[in-house]
Amino acid sequence: MIARALPSQQFWRLTIAGTFTFLAIWSVAALSGLTSRAFLPAPWDVVVRFIELLTQPFAGYVLHEHLLSSLHRFAMGFGLAVLIGIPLGLLMAWFKWIDRIVTPAFEAIRFVAPIAWVPFAALWFGTGIGGPILIIFMGAFPPVLINTYRGAKQVDRKYIEAAQMLGASSWRSMTEVLLPAAVPSIVAGLRVSAGLGWQSLVGAELIVASSGVGYLMVKGQASVSTATVMCGMLAIGIVGLLIDVALRRLHAAIEQRRGT
Partner 1 sequence: MDTTTAQSPQAASTRRTGWSLSRRLGTAGVTLVVVVALWHVLTAVTGFISPARFATPAEVWGALQQIAGDGYSNGRLHQHVLRSVLLVTMGFTFAASVGVVLGLAMGASRRVEAFVNPIFLVLRPIPPLAWIPLAIVWLGLGDAAKMMVIFVSAFVPSVINSYTGVRQIDKPLFEAAAMLDVTGWRYWREVLIPGALPSIFTGLRLSLQASWTTLVAAELVGAITGLGQILNQAAQDIYPAMILVGMISVAICGWAMTAALAWIERRAMPWRTLQ
Per CB under 8 A, does 60 bind partner 1? no
Kindly tell me which of 41 and 89 has the beta carbon lying closer to partner 1. 41
End-to-end CA distance of the chain: give it in Å, rounded. 39
> Distance between CA 144 and CA 84 in Å, rounded?
9
The amino acid at residue 162 is: A
Compute φ and ψ for 84, nearest 5 degrees. Answer: -90, -40
> Distance between CA 195 and CA 93 in Å, rounded?
25
Kindly tell me which of 5 and 166 has the beta carbon lying closer to partner 1. 5
Q: Which stretch binds partner 1 (CB under 8 A): 15-23, 83-91, 142-150, 152-160?
A: 15-23
Per CB under 8 A, does 17 bind partner 1? yes
Task: List the one residue from 98, 122, 155, 160 that touches partner 1 (CB under 8 A).
Answer: 122
Task: List the one residue from 53, 137, 226, 231 that touches partner 1 (CB under 8 A).
Answer: 226
Task: List the one residue from 115, 129, 155, 254 that touches partner 1 (CB under 8 A).
Answer: 115
The residue count for binding partner 1 (CB under 8 A) is 61
Per CB under 8 A, does 132 bind partner 1? no
Looking at the DSSP assignment, which residues form a beta bridge with residue 58? 61
Q: Least Å distance between CB 18 and partner 1?
A: 4
Stated as kind and residue range, the H or E segment containing 197 is helix 179-207
Q: What angle (nearest 5°) sits at the alpha carbon of residue 75, between those of residues 70 and 77?
A: 95
Kindly tell me which of 238 and 252 has the beta carbon lying closer to partner 1. 238
Per CB under 8 A, does 127 bind partner 1? no
The amino acid at residue 43 is: P
Q: What angle (nearest 5°) sits at the alpha carbon of residue 220, between those of residues 66 and 26?
A: 110
> Distance between CA 88 and CA 145 in Å, rounded?
7
Per CB under 8 A, does 221 bind partner 1? yes
Length of the chain: 260
The amino acid at residue 32 is: S
Kindly tell me which of 179 and 198 has the beta carbon lying closer to partner 1. 198
Q: Which positions touch partner 1 (CB under 8 A)?
A: 1-6, 10-12, 14-15, 17-19, 21-22, 39-40, 100-101, 104-105, 108, 111-120, 122-124, 198-200, 202-203, 206-207, 214, 217-218, 220-221, 224, 226, 229-230, 232-234, 236-238, 240-241, 244
